[in-house]
Amino acid sequence: MTKKEFLIALGEVVGGDAGGIRGDESLRDLDGWDSMASVAFMAMADERLGKLVGAADLAACKTVSDLMALFPGQIS
């Protein structure tokens, strides 16, 4: 998955503008990122990246970059 595709998918998860996420935002400032979005993100990751993200690993993420770092070698 490319970085652009990841950011678009993340945009769909948080319900915002699909092209609006730059990649350097903090999750606290990301409109729509909440507990519901966390579950939707995990579903997206499992479906499209084949990885079931651990809840603790997800909770430790503070930025969009941290989210991408959950998938080493899978986001180009």
Partner 1 sequence: MKAFIKAIEYHLPETILDNQQLAVEFPDWSAEKIMAKTGIAQRHIARNDECASDLGVLAARKLLASGVAAAKDLDFLILCTQSPDYFLPTTACLMQDRLGLPRSCGALDVNLGCSGFVYILGMAKGLIETGQARNVLLITAETYSKHINVRDKSVRTVFGDGAAATLVSAFASRKSPIGPFVYGTDGSGAANLMVPTGGMRKPRVAGAPLEQDQSNNQRTENDLFMNGPEIFNFTLRVIPPMVEQMLQKSGLRLEQIDLWVFHQANQFMLEHIRKKLGVSESRFVLSFADCGNTVSSTIPIALKNAAEKGQMKTGCKVAIAGFGVGYSWAGTVMEWKGPDRMTR
Nearer to partner 1, 3 or 69 (CB): 69
Q: Smallest gap, in angstroms, from Cβ of residue 33 to partner 1?
A: 8
Nearer to partner 1, 1 or 58 (CB): 58
Here's the x/- map for partner 1, 9-48, by CB under 8 A: it reads as ------x------------x---xxxxxxxxx-xx--xx-
Q: Smallest gap, in angstroms, from Cβ of residue 73 to partner 1?
A: 22
Q: Smallest gap, in angstroms, from Cβ of residue 43 to partner 1?
A: 4
Tokens for 36, please give them.
């519901």
Q: How far apart are CA 31 and CA 27, in angstroms?
A: 8
Write b or e for each residue in 5-21: b if 16 or more Cβ atoms lie within 10 A of its Cβ, otherwise e: ebbbbbbebbebeeeeb
E strand map for the chain: none
